[in-house]
Homo-oligomer: A and B are copies of this chain.
Amino acid sequence: MTASELERRLSFLKEVAPFNSIPKTALELVAGSFQVRKYKNREIIIYQGDTTCNFYVIKTGTVRILTIDESGNESCLRVLTAHDIFGELSAYDSAPRSASAQAVGPCTILAMDHSVFRRYLMDMPDLALAFTQFLSEKLRWTTLFCHTIAQYDTAGRLLHLILHYKDMFGRVIVEGKTYEVDLPLTQSDLASMVGARREWVNRLLQKWRKKGFLTYSRGTVTILDHSALVAEMNRRMAKFQDESW
């Protein structure tokens, strides 16, 4: 790797969550240990159940995390994009992969071998602490999310999801009002993510379309009235807020 390549990789890694808080010298060491890999559309990066333990950083492109249950039914868990990391859990604990990862469109991915990664964790307390903090934030977020979705009804969960991905993927058209969210997801995928049926997701999207809140066209959600969607979502929680006083 040339010096300018290293330089570019360093500035890239500074945008990646757990690496942005470690000293520059440490980061230089780490940066050299990634391999670059390219994946084509629909290519599988990680197979659920595998015992590979590498960990990955998305350089460009989009990755879908999904599970397939005993009866072959596939269900999308989440969608990741540039600067997100995935596969870290197995890198720490060597447990089999709990989900698959699939390229959505062409992707460039940095991969690190788990034994190298573990060594860094042991040798660089700063890195270990950064990862611990990263994990703890993620766990805090997931726990809250888990609790939140248990409270919302299906419409609330779907809005929650759309607004979440708006923050990740959204292209601003009119600040605070109009956004284009290019999710690589079908309505069936959305349904599997919120635990509902495709038909109901469709009906909800239609309802919001008729109200002028958003439009949906094979994977692209265009938010037309952001504050109306937020208000709609909050109304969904309200039903649980009136008791106990």
A residues apposed to B, CB below 8 Å = 67, 69-75, 77, 88-89, 92-93, 95, 98, 118, 121-123, 125, 128-129, 131-133, 135-140, 142-147, 149-152, 157, 193-195, 240-245
Q: Which residues of B contact A72 (CB under 8 A)?
A: 244-245
Q: Which residue of B lies closest to A128 (CB)?
A: B128
Check B71 against A241 for contact (C-beta < 8 Å): yes
Check A95 against B135 for contact (C-beta < 8 Å): no
Check B137 against A136 for contact (C-beta < 8 Å): no
Additional A-B contact list (9), CB under 8 Å, known A89-B139, A93-B137, A139-B139 = A73-B241, A77-B143, A92-B129, A93-B140, A98-B140, A98-B144, A121-B132, A123-B125, A149-B150
Check A135 against B137 for contact (C-beta < 8 Å): no
State how many copies of this chain the complex holds.
Answer: 2
Check B140 against A142 for contact (C-beta < 8 Å): no
Q: Which residues of B contact A128 (CB under 8 A)?
A: 121, 125, 128-129, 132
Q: Which residue of B lies closest to A121 (CB)?
A: B129
> Which of A123, A193, A195 has its CB near the most chain B CB atoms (within 10 A)?
A195
Q: Which residues of B contact A142 (CB under 8 A)?
A: 139, 142-143, 146
Q: Which residue of B lies closest to A132 (CB)?
A: B92
Q: Decide yes or no: A240 and B125 within 8 Å by CB, A89-B136, A89-B139, A147-B67 being known contacts.
A: no
A121 to B128, CA, bound (A): 8
Check A150 against B98 for contact (C-beta < 8 Å): no
Check B71 against A242 for contact (C-beta < 8 Å): yes
- A132's partner among B135, B144, B145 (CB-CB below 8 A) is B135
Q: How close is A93's CB to chain B, nearest CB, in angstroms? A: 5
Q: Which residues of B contact A122 (CB under 8 A)?
A: 125, 129
Q: Which residues of B contact A77 (CB under 8 A)?
A: 143, 147
Q: Which residue of B lies closest to A124 (CB)?
A: B125
A195 to B194, CA, bound (A): 14
Check A195 against B139 for contact (C-beta < 8 Å): no
Q: Which residues of B contact A151 (CB under 8 A)?
A: 75, 195
Q: Which residues of B contact A123 (CB under 8 A)?
A: 125
Q: Which residues of B contact A149 (CB under 8 A)?
A: 146, 149-150, 195
